[in-house]
Structure 1
């Protein structure tokens, strides 16, 4: 089972370089993520075999099942393999298996890698396709694990060492019994495995995202599923922003619908995301983030007014697009960790982060430029104009800094030149 060969028309790259591209460009980027994940999984199978990892047999069986499923249900397999938690799990697992001296033995600091999750991913693809299939794999730590995009399973209090998970025409069975569906993650009473569907947020006819945790596969059992009441709060919080985008910023809305499949709720003060931010960012009611290994995920903490939340979604959409583009066309040359000042962060930033920040802030500047013509209240107009002017000036400074250096690859230099052209046209 091999990855596909990809080409990108010049006009598509230029459209992306100008902060746009549309759903067709996003689909090209997603296809690249699919192939990257297939290659990572193939490497994972080989690495487990070479190490004599305890999961090697289970992983090998899962890979063969995945290969067969891909031949008959390629769209379902692609959908699951590009789900952000699958991407993050694959990248983290192969990294931990490749640590010098790793033999498959548990690692006290962070627990062992769990490559047998490939069986769960195969079951999720079969469930999504509606294809009957049975997998077996060692019981994950804590006796809990998710089926990506679909739901979370918690096993019996005293589960066996191996789990048999069957996808049937009626749903799922675990060791021959259907799991008991519950409505709150705190429910732990009764007998039999328990099941929580992944909440889905729908807006209009186009946007559908899951409320989920990016690391649910890589760290099984560490994070409880999103509760229904929490999902209801997020539906209310995101609805005004989506209406604004879908009504007045349709290009961004179309790209969001094509690119983003997961919103990851964060605690009120996610220090991992705010530590390098400005004082205003650290006090903000809405904090957001993305992860290069989890393209398709937007992490959010809190919510703001419709325009603030919409601008945040545009910002994180840009980060996702550039991370996927960088996988296809490396944009920065390897080199020493030289850092430069960034107008939107505290302290100097390495060149890859500076480029990511530039791309995202050009896209957000475009949002505020249009929003300035849509606002009806004087305070809204002043705010939009101020945000646009501030970001345009900051981005121009970073463009000049990047173009005078030698760290950009030819595709990276082309991208920055077109960002410069966009800023100049404004």
Structure 2
């Protein structure tokens, strides 16, 4: 893996920033881990008992690996675009868990695992298409959908689908169809077809020149699997219709300028770290029309570079969602490279942004992301021209800053911080105090203080008997 980061890089990360070199170092480390994970999957399949990975399935995995190697010789970057796609991570982790199933449980898990292992065929086919490598193969559609990661998906009856790719056209055939379906593959790996059964992945424009387009991936079958979202009443959005796609694209078009208002570093971290957006359904309480500010978003440690989000109510909240979630991406990547603490995972801490007790790591993650939001909203407030925009920004800044101030003493007082963790937290505290140089109007501060005080009273009523009261 990559060597530890120098202190000057840690200090910049502690200020919720990060120069391009540091961000690329975090991304390279995550990429190395992903490639090792995919290779470990193949090794685990080789070692698995036949009850989990029958000889026929193992032979297919080897064929898929050969196609990946052929495609990589043609275009290494094209193959990496597929293997390093964020949603390949949850799939690989799921397969490894399945291959590690105890022998006594193998019959119950075998069919699901084999469907998961089939997905390597789709990954290999997508990599070959992106690298302009001609091939023919047969893939299996599951649950009425055949996904080609990063490219799109095919609505089709479950069962085998014949694929043939040459030059810039993919031809698909199914036993129940009267005629094959043709998909055109453009030079930038976007796809299009006249047939509505083909569901292309929408590519949002880069946030700045030289950056990569951002896929809005609403078809990958592993985009929310095993993510824990259902515990909170959340779910992946179904395939977006033209109206929804247009709404996402229109909102996205204003995001780069808003990120730049929050500081050039916000644009940089988005350009380096954001690799795909996964649309979520509207959260409970958002209303049937989805017009309220109710919103949900998340990241997944095993899906580096993905931000899962319902469509924000406006571009300002879209930009803030990226600021918020990419801090989790950044901090998780840093913690994988250099552990930040040795606290246990007991959920016992008060966090003003959550109704439930949080473990120390969750407290650190939340404080870090809310500190970045406080900084971002303050910059927007100072640069806003319209009164309504300025008022919204000061409101959000004051709330986030007050929330961070409520938990910083717990972080600072932990004796379990590593040296790297101490550097990080000290810089977080320094940034928190620097925000005082431009305080919000008094009314915003008073409302934020009341908000956090009320949240703490409610939290103590719910959790106080089981969880000791936190220090102020």
Residues 166/400 of structure 1: CA separation in 2 closer, same or farther (3 Å cut): farther
Other-structure match for 1:130: 132
CA contact (8 A) 2:10 2:423 kept: no
| Structure 1 alignment gaps of length 5 or more | 183-191, 275-282
Residues 302/240 of structure 1: CA separation in 2 closer, same or farther (3 Å cut): same
Residues 98/21 of structure 1: CA separation in 2 closer, same or farther (3 Å cut): same
Residue 134 of structure 1: how far off its partner (Å): 4.4
1:173 pairs, out of 152, 171, 174, with 171
Residue 195 of structure 1: how far off its partner (Å): 2.4
Residue 300 of structure 1: how far off its partner (Å): 1.9
Task: Work out the CA distance in 1 between the residues paired with 2:299 and 2:276.
Answer: 11
RMSD value, Cα: 3.3
Residue 219 of structure 1: how far off its partner (Å): 8.3
Task: Work out the CA distance in 2 between the residues paired with 1:341 and 1:295.
Answer: 27
**Deviation string, structure 1 residues 342-387 (Cα, Å, up to 9, x no partner):** 0211121112211111111111111012112112344543443343
Secondary structure at the residue paired with 2:198?
strand
**Deviation string, structure 1 residues 123-181 (Cα, Å, up to 9, x no partner):** 222222223344555x24225222221111234x3644xx5544321232346996345
Residue 317 of structure 1: how far off its partner (Å): 1.6
Residues 14/48 of structure 1: CA separation in 2 closer, same or farther (3 Å cut): same
CA contact (8 A) 2:344 2:359 kept: no
CA contact (8 A) 1:17 1:415 kept: yes
- Runs of 4+ residues deviating >6 angstroms: 108-111
Task: Work out the CA distance in 2 between the residues paired with 1:287 and 1:218.
Answer: 15
**Deviation string, structure 1 residues 248-278 (Cα, Å, up to 9, x no partner):** 633212321222122212111269xx9xxxx
Task: Work out the CA distance in 1 between the residues paired with 2:197 and 2:342.
Answer: 48
2:215 pairs, out of 205, 210, 215, with 210
2:121 pairs, out of 100, 116, 119, with 119
Other-structure match for 2:155: 154
Residue 413 of structure 2 is aligned to residue 411 of structure 1 = no
Secondary structure at the residue paired with 2:339?
coil
CA contact (8 A) 2:147 2:220 kept: no
Residues 376/37 of structure 1: CA separation in 2 closer, same or farther (3 Å cut): same
Task: Work out the CA distance in 1 between the residues paired with 2:343 and 2:114.
Answer: 30
CA contact (8 A) 1:211 1:265 kept: yes
**Deviation string, structure 1 residues 190-235 (Cα, Å, up to 9, x no partner):** xx99422211222665462111148524789x98543333211211
CA contact (8 A) 1:88 1:215 kept: no
CA contact (8 A) 1:152 1:225 kept: no
Secondary structure at the residue paired with 1:32?
helix
Other-structure match for 1:95: 97
CA contact (8 A) 1:146 1:216 kept: yes
2:312 pairs, out of 281, 298, 303, with 303
Task: Work out the CA distance in 2 between the residues paired with 1:295 and 1:135.
Answer: 29
Secondary structure at the residue paired with 1:339?
coil
Residues 214/193 of structure 1: CA separation in 2 closer, same or farther (3 Å cut): closer
Other-structure match for 2:231: none
| Structure 2 alignment gaps of length 5 or more | 185-194, 226-235, 287-291, 436-472
Other-structure match for 2:240: 226
Residue 204 of structure 2 is aligned to residue 195 of structure 1 = no
Name the stretch that deviates more: 106-115 or 399-408: 106-115
Taking the TM superposition and a 5 Å limit, the aligned residue runs for 1:52-71 are 52=50, 53-54=53-54, 55-71=57-73
Taking the TM superposition and a 5 Å limit, the aligned residue runs for 1:361-380 are 361-380=370-389
Taking the TM superposition and a 5 Å limit, the aligned residue runs for 1:4-403 are 8-51=5-48, 52=50, 53-54=53-54, 55-101=57-103, 105-107=107-109, 114-136=116-138, 139-155=140-156, 157=157, 159-160=159-160, 165-174=163-172, 179-181=181-183, 194-202=197-205, 205-206=208-209, 208-213=213-218, 216-217=221-222, 225-246=239-260, 249-269=263-283, 284-333=293-342, 335-403=344-412
**Deviation string, structure 1 residues 47-72 (Cα, Å, up to 9, x no partner):** 22222303222222222333454455
Secondary structure at the residue paired with 2:282?
coil
Task: Work out the CA distance in 2 between the residues paired with 1:305 and 1:223.
Answer: 18
Residues 215/291 of structure 1: CA separation in 2 closer, same or farther (3 Å cut): farther
CA contact (8 A) 1:358 1:398 kept: yes
